[in-house]
Amino acid sequence: MSDLPSHTRVVIIGGGAVGASCAYHIAKAGWDVVLLEKNELTAGSTWHAAGNCPSFSTSWAVMNMQRYSLDLYRRLADEVDYPMNYHVTGSIRLGHSRERIQEFERAVSMGRYQGMDLEMMQVGDLKSRYPFLETHDLAGALYDPDDGDIDPAQLTQALAKGARMAGARIERFCPATGVSRDKGEWVIHTPKGDIRCEKVVNAAGYYAQRVGEWFKPFGGRTVPMAVMSHQYFLTEEIPAIREWCESTGNRKLPLLRDVDSSYYLRQEKYGLNLGPYERNCKAHWVTPDDPMPEDFSFQLYPDDLERLEWYIEDAMARVPLLGEGGVGRNINGPIPYAPDGLPLIGPMPGVPNAFEACVFTFGITQSGGAGKVLAEWVTEGCTEWDMWAVDPRRYTDYTDPQYCIDKALETYGHEYAMHFPWHRWPAAPDRRTSALHDRLKAAGAQFGVYNGWERANWFAQPGDDTSEEATHTWDRSGPFQPRIEEECAAVRDHAGVLAISGFTRLRVQGPGARAHVDGLTCSRLPKPGRVGLAYFPDTRGRILTEMSVIPSSDEDLLLITAAVAQWHDRDVLTTGLPEGVTVTDESADFDCLLVTGPQSRAILAPLTDADLSLPWLSVQQATVAGKPVTLMRVSFAGELGWEIHCAAADAPAIWDAVTGAGAKPFGMFALNALRVEKAYRAWKGDLSTDYTLLQGGLDRFIDWSKPFPGKAALEQERATGPTKRFAVLRVEAGPADTPYMATIRQGDTIVGEATAGAWGYRVGHSVALAMIRTDLTAPGTELEIDIFGERRPATVLGDGPIWDAQNERIKA
Ligand SMILES: Cc1cc2nc3c(=O)[nH]c(=O)nc-3n(C[C@H](O)[C@H](O)[C@H](O)COP(=O)(O)OP(=O)(O)OC[C@H]3O[C@@H](n4cnc5c(N)ncnc54)[C@H](O)[C@@H]3O)c2cc1C
């Protein structure tokens, strides 16, 4: 007889570092939880991980998660009385170029904001921390005092012990073999019997896709991932390292990362551990003749040192001492990669009460924070920090297996690459192209990807440099800059047309449809014939999402939202869905063209039977170029304008007509510059669960007379006043505009952060949207912003549009 419990609140499938951390955090939240591990704990990727624990990240959310992990690891051994080998050695990240140093400077600034002591180092100072280093070709470095290495197996065991102490049950050698649903509960099948539970977590590491398949009958999708092979090798003892350690009171060398050459080098005992992320990398288990084995517990791939040759030579030139140690041991293990290299942590798309905490490429340094975040999703339904960067719903159904492989190869081979705002990663293009694609291409479109959709970012002219290299800059200038300026000028002075393919369109229908949507938003819904912006708070009054609502009747409402919000906002709208009300995704059936600028009425008039005198926010059915359309008088560019929503196949005829009538094609980069001048917020930049509606300055979208989620929290905040508030700043920027999450200061005190920045071509200066301390929001307040290592003066202008402040142009 098995003593497996028949019932628990949460089942976690997978006992690596991440599953153990999830169990630890869920149990500490007071919930019953059972972790199932098919072999021994750590049998997946965890046992062979190098155990490096950086805090560095250029993502605010990931940095938060890693910072939390390191805080936890420092105290965990004592807390659970399980000694661990955890060496906090610090690390040095080498920079070879101005752009890399700028990237470091940005991370230092973000890190300081999060309370960490990241610091920049001059080349001349490097040898004092790492005497064996060749420095002649370096531009500088970043020092992270919190970096180090931990024994991954001990970490997992310590987390498991902590979980058990808090009441969790850990079942080893007990594979989950499938799932089913019964009476609203999950039934998890195992050879030892079934366990029923409310919620289930897929923490199966590189097996996550296989486990994910079980959830398809319940609304799931194929988990977007591929399994890469990742190697590091350990040298034998190097006498000079032993001597250095003994002469320095047994210090350990800091971990070295040569990110431009793409490897790390760490002291391991008295030898070195070299771990490259090689360009010529390899995915495993991706072809029918190389199937993923049923069980790969505690196994490795065969050594493949040839792939690492270039990196070994480069590292030997950097630290010649490396050549003195013979190769001791090579580790080549499976490591799962999502297309962007970030893990999947959060709700499983489309499946109720199921969650993911899987596909970790840095699961040792992230497991602590990941467990906290996952436990919050499971036990509270929302997270302390906005975690969209790792939310599984950021991928929708364009991620077929080949896409995942191509992207995993690209991402792994560029693991340490810089992510420039103008650059587009080229692998796996054209997942979703609109009927306009060829026309856009012919007009010079340089495409970006939005939820898999190809949209023009800017339009190149003959002779423009459209190489990838030309986009490798944080600066404003580049071949795209004069074109963005021209596109903005056309929208300001004449008219532009932007193809916004891939807008998410969710139709809510049925008796009670309007009441259902009304109950989810704090905003007043518009009447039929009008479009209105509605905000959806979470239970804490924070900004979950924003959608445009277009009701046809009380039983039929169309909600239009950001392309990338497709699966997230579907979840929002299906929350508590009453019987008889349906939510249908119509995104792929339609296209949208924004025609905007002072001449847009004159351009559209001969092409349409619509009444173009109808006011701002009006909606009408009409024809344009003979095609049936829904015409909405709105413009995210902040000029007179209309969104033309049409059947996907009709978009080319409409495009031809409006461009033929003189509207100039413009792209998403210009749109971003234009919207920032109008203080129009963008989802998951300016609008996120890091901020409440009141902090976001969205008071006028709150109808206090009705019930809505998070109302009590917002009422309380209204009584005391929000501590930080949205503001628009004029920035005396240098060559670069303000990046996301740039730190804002008054003197040496950090007082807020930027959520967006761009050059405002209509107002003629650099603009930042920001969240700053409420007492500093008065217009005229002088502040400073950290922009890639430079402190630039910034002046608060207010909390509304700085172009056409009275909205006369949009209402003309
Ligand atoms: C060579 C190498 C070096 C690395 N170095 C580092 C590093 O220095 N720092 C770092 O942060 N990361 C590193 N990583 C990555 C790290 O190993 C992983 O990100 C991390 O181990 C992932 O942990 P996990 O718990 O998500 O997955 P895993 O450790 O793979 O755990 C998943 C578990 O699920 C179990 N399982 C699967 N299916 C089932 C089922 N049906 N029922 C029950 N159990 C199941 C498996 O047996 C496994 O134990 C390295 C990886 C490699 C390959």
Under a CB-based contact definition with an 8 Å cutoff, are residues 419 and 106 in contact?
A: no
Helices (H), 7-139: 17-28, 60-80, 98-113, 126-129
Read off the tokens for 21. Answer: 């951390």
Kindly state whether residues 445 and 323 are assigned to the same domain. Answer: no
- Would the CB of 281 count as within 6 Å of ligand 1? no
How many Å apart are CA 143 and CA 137, to the nearest integer? 18
Under a CB-based contact definition with an 8 Å cutoff, are residues 10 and 32 in contact?
A: yes
Look at residue 195 and tell me whether its pLDDT is greater than 90.
Answer: yes
Question: Which residue's alpha carbon is nearest to atom 3 within ligand 1?
Answer: 49
Last residue of a domain, which of 714, 748, 778? 714
- Establish if 484 belongs to a structural domain: yes
- Would the CB of 37 count as within 6 Å of ligand 1? yes
Question: Taking Cα atoms as reference points, which of 204, 173, 192 lies closest to residue 46?
Answer: 204
Kindly state whether residues 280 and 426 are assigned to the same domain. Answer: no
Look at residue 74 and tell me whether its pLDDT is greater than 70.
Answer: yes
- Would the CB of 49 count as within 6 Å of ligand 1? yes
Kindly state whether residues 599 and 467 are assigned to the same domain. Answer: yes
Last residue of a domain, which of 668, 685, 714? 714
Distances (CA, A) of 553 to 525, 556, 701: 11, 5, 21
Question: How many whole angstroms from 7 Cα to the centroid of ligand 1?
Answer: 27
- Would the CB of 204 count as within 6 Å of ligand 1? yes
pLDDT in tens, 533-574: 999 999 999 999 999 999 999 999 999 999 999 999 999 999
Look at residue 1 and tell me whether its pLDDT is greater than 70.
Answer: no
Look at residue 20 and tell me whether its pLDDT is greater than 70.
Answer: yes
Element (H, E) at 213: helix 208-213
Look at residue 170 and tell me whether its pLDDT is greater than 60.
Answer: yes
Kindly state whether residues 185 and 315 are assigned to the same domain. Answer: yes
Question: How many whole angstroms from 366 Cα to the centroid of ligand 1?
Answer: 11
- Would the CB of 207 count as within 6 Å of ligand 1? yes
pLDDT in tens, 648-684: 999 999 999 999 999 999 999 999 999 999 999 999 9
Under a CB-based contact definition with an 8 Å cutoff, are residues 646 and 348 in contact?
A: no
Question: How many whole angstroms from 203 Cα to the centroid of ligand 1?
Answer: 9
How many Å apart are CA 95 and CA 137, to the nearest integer? 9
Distances (CA, A) of 790 to 131, 304, 634: 30, 44, 37
Kindly state whether residues 328 and 428 are assigned to the same domain. Answer: no
Under a CB-based contact definition with an 8 Å cutoff, are residues 49 and 149 in contact?
A: no
Q: What percent of the chain is predicted at pLDDT more than 90?
A: 99
* CATH assignment of the domain containing 48: 3.30.9.10
Distances (CA, A) of 99 to 106, 117, 480: 11, 21, 18
Angle between helices 60-80 and 152-165 (to 10 degrees): 70
Read off the tokens for 567. Answer: 């699966």
- Establish if 286 belongs to a structural domain: yes
User: What is the pLDDT confidence band of residue 327, given thresholds at 50, 70 and 90?
Assistant: confident
Last residue of a domain, which of 337, 368, 390? 337
Distances (CA, A) of 802 to 493, 643, 733, 797: 17, 23, 17, 8
How many Å apart are CA 204 and CA 111, to the nearest integer? 31
Predicted local distance difference test score (pLDDT) of residue 326: 86
- Establish if 370 belongs to a structural domain: no
Identity of the residue numbered 692: T
Kindly state whether residues 301 and 430 are assigned to the same domain. Answer: no
Question: Which residue's alpha carbon is nearest to atom 50 within ligand 1?
Answer: 49
Which parts of 123-184 are beta strand (E)?
A: 140-144, 149-150, 169-171, 178-182
Under a CB-based contact definition with an 8 Å cutoff, are residues 404 and 339 in contact?
A: yes
Question: Which residue's alpha carbon is nearest to atom 22 within ligand 1?
Answer: 363
Pocket test for ligand 1, best of 12, 18, 42, 45 (most atoms within 8 A of CB): 45
pLDDT in tens, 717-759: 999 999 999 999 999 999 999 999 999 999 999 999 999 999 9
Kindly state whether residues 441 and 313 are assigned to the same domain. Answer: no
Question: How many whole angstroms from 46 Cα to the centroid of ligand 1?
Answer: 4
Nearest atom of ligand 1 to the alpha carbon of 335 = 53
How many Å apart are CA 27 and CA 316, to the nearest integer? 47
- Would the CB of 358 count as within 6 Å of ligand 1? yes
Read off the tokens for 693. Answer: 């509606």
Under a CB-based contact definition with an 8 Å cutoff, are residues 496 and 663 in contact?
A: yes
- Establish if 36 belongs to a structural domain: yes
- Establish if 602 belongs to a structural domain: yes
* CATH assignment of the domain containing 590: 3.30.1360.120
Kindly state whether residues 333 and 426 are assigned to the same domain. Answer: no
How many Å apart are CA 289 and CA 226, to the nearest integer? 16
- Number of structural domains in the chain: 2
- Establish if 672 belongs to a structural domain: yes
Beta bridge partners of 792: 785
Which residues neighbour 189 within 8 Å (Cβ) at sequence distance 6 or greater?
Answer: 176, 177, 178, 179, 180
Q: Which residue has the tokens 């909606």?
A: 619
Under a CB-based contact definition with an 8 Å cutoff, are residues 325 and 235 in contact?
A: yes
- Establish if 487 belongs to a structural domain: yes
Which residues neighbour 450 within 8 Å (Cβ) at sequence distance 6 or greater?
Answer: 502, 563, 564, 668
Question: How many whole angstroms from 327 Cα to the centroid of ligand 1?
Answer: 25
Which residues neighbour 299 within 8 Å (Cβ) at sequence distance 6 or greater?
Answer: none
Average pLDDT, the chain: 97
Look at residue 206 and tell me whether its pLDDT is greater than 80.
Answer: yes
How many Å apart are CA 781 and CA 798, to the nearest integer? 10
User: What is the pLDDT confidence band of residue 209, given thresholds at 50, 70 and 90?
Assistant: very high
Identity of the residue numbered 218: F
Question: How many whole angstroms from 42 Cα to the centroid of ligand 1?
Answer: 7
- Would the CB of 604 count as within 6 Å of ligand 1? no
Which residues neighbour 202 within 8 Å (Cβ) at sequence distance 6 or greater?
Answer: 13, 14, 208, 211, 212, 215, 223, 348, 354, 355, 356, 357, 358
Nearest atom of ligand 1 to the alpha carbon of 334 = 53
Nearest atom of ligand 1 to the alpha carbon of 229 = 53
Question: How many whole angstroms from 103 Cα to the centroid of ligand 1?
Answer: 29
Kindly state whether residues 697 and 567 are assigned to the same domain. Answer: yes
Which phi and psi angles does 383 have, rounded to 5°? -115, 155
Look at residue 457 and tell me whether its pLDDT is greater than 60.
Answer: yes
- Would the CB of 365 count as within 6 Å of ligand 1? yes
Question: How many whole angstroms from 60 Cα to the centroid of ligand 1?
Answer: 24
Pairing of strands 10-13, 199-202: parallel
Under a CB-based contact definition with an 8 Å cutoff, are residues 266 and 317 in contact?
A: no
Can you say whether residue 100 is alpha, beta or left, with left for phi > 0 and alpha for psi between -120 and 50 degrees? alpha
Q: In Å, how far from its chain's centre is CA 719? A: 33
Question: Which residue's alpha carbon is nearest to atom 25 within ligand 1?
Answer: 16
Q: What is the total residue count of the chain? A: 812
- Establish if 47 belongs to a structural domain: yes
Can you say whether residue 583 is alpha, beta or left, with left for phi > 0 and alpha for psi between -120 and 50 degrees? beta
Kindly state whether residues 637 and 542 are assigned to the same domain. Answer: yes
Pairing of strands 91-95, 255-258: parallel
- Would the CB of 361 count as within 6 Å of ligand 1? yes
Pocket test for ligand 1, best of 24, 67, 360, 411 (most atoms within 8 A of CB): 360
Element (H, E) at 376: helix 363-380
Q: Establish how many alpha carbons lie within 13 A of residue 618's alpha carbon, considering only the half-sphere containing its beta carbon.
A: 14
- Would the CB of 44 count as within 6 Å of ligand 1? yes
Kindly state whether residues 52 and 198 are assigned to the same domain. Answer: yes
Kindly state whether residues 332 and 430 are assigned to the same domain. Answer: no
Question: Taking Cα atoms as reference points, which of 496, 506, 641 lies closest to residue 587?
Answer: 506
Distances (CA, A) of 21 to 212, 223, 383: 20, 21, 16
Which residues neighbour 410 within 8 Å (Cβ) at sequence distance 6 or greater?
Answer: 425, 426, 427, 428
Domain limits for position 48? 10-208+225-337
Question: Which residue's alpha carbon is nearest to atom 27 within ligand 1?
Answer: 205
